[in-house]
Structure 1
């Protein structure tokens, strides 16, 4: 097993974290990877740190985005540049367990899966352990409507089977929501929309989206993130149901109630 894995890392003003993130990739037991770091017009030394580390390892490939377009646009640019047979995502302040890629690839190959995700640890901004996020053995489209257990930092998919997948972003051809750009730019649900899209493709292919119960990553919970604002997150969840997935009011309401219940379970139990 020697598939090339392209790791996409959007980065914006993370000079205090990016080195540790890169090191968690360098320390992987699985060695056939490329790390595409897309600097989203940072105002600090993020890009310089990435460049310095790239000088010691040719697998690290920092690029500058032409303009500040947000994480979705940065991930899409990285995906366009990716050469791998698999694509994985890692945000620039998060970390991976050193066996993450090795374990995940083996699971996908053994189970003939085209998409996988894993459990992960949640740590504070300073790196202190907070809690674990568990995941089910598999999900499908209907399951994802009721709540998302997929952490973007753990997601990986098979490019050969699914093709390159792109995140919904404002002011682009794949924005068919009818929503203004200023709303889309700050909603923070682009990954969830992509997982829903992939889930529908998996149903057509008769393939599963598999979960790995072992914690293979560390999600850094920082103040000010969209995911930390539950009211705003709930509002955008409703937007996904009604404007993106085009669910009728009653089915959207049913899933929204279950989403809220699962959110409480996920974060407090």
Structure 2
């Protein structure tokens, strides 16, 4: 049995199928873990979501674009320029697809690997991270999921405090697990700067380079940061290689470290401009 992780697909369904081919993926024996952002910005979000929800051997965590789709469907956010989720919203099986997406986790702990979309707060222990993710997952799966989504947006609070009101804890968790790139020297979220790490303003650093980061007894496998590109550090594997921007879709064997890459067929976002 092989275990593979795949970076941000974002509706690049043709490249995804080519990548599975290159991996010789066998759904009877192998397992695929998607690190979030299944949908949006690429041309075939509906096909990608149907494949993920109906195929054997597929697990995923939620990314910020997946949550955006849920918020648009719930009526608490609007379609933005560059979005490609309209075909999902208009699909005859939209309710079933959204229902499936709401059930997906924000964090998967495999015992030796921790899968998230963006990252893990430097101020979280492993137990903190799992408990925080579970709170959001319960909110998404419950009857009040639309109400939760309506309070999900915003950059505050920037620091973790387990005694915060529930809405603040949920927002902080969503921001860490699905949006985070940089933090301040004390580990607080810095969500405004999204540029290259080498040009980051003084006083902030990538979340995985925080000197005060609590140790996690797992390698973190994530995506989200296409400007960072493929990064394979001992404790962090980042797999978003910007397929939707015309670069590549990347997968990796979680046990051997063998890499698989498929070049993007188009620079899809440029086609929308």
Asked if TM exceeds 0.5, the reply is no
Which is helix-richer, 1 or 2? 1
- TM-score (normalised: structure 1): 0.32
- TM-score (normalised: structure 2): 0.31
Which is strand-richer, 1 or 2? 1
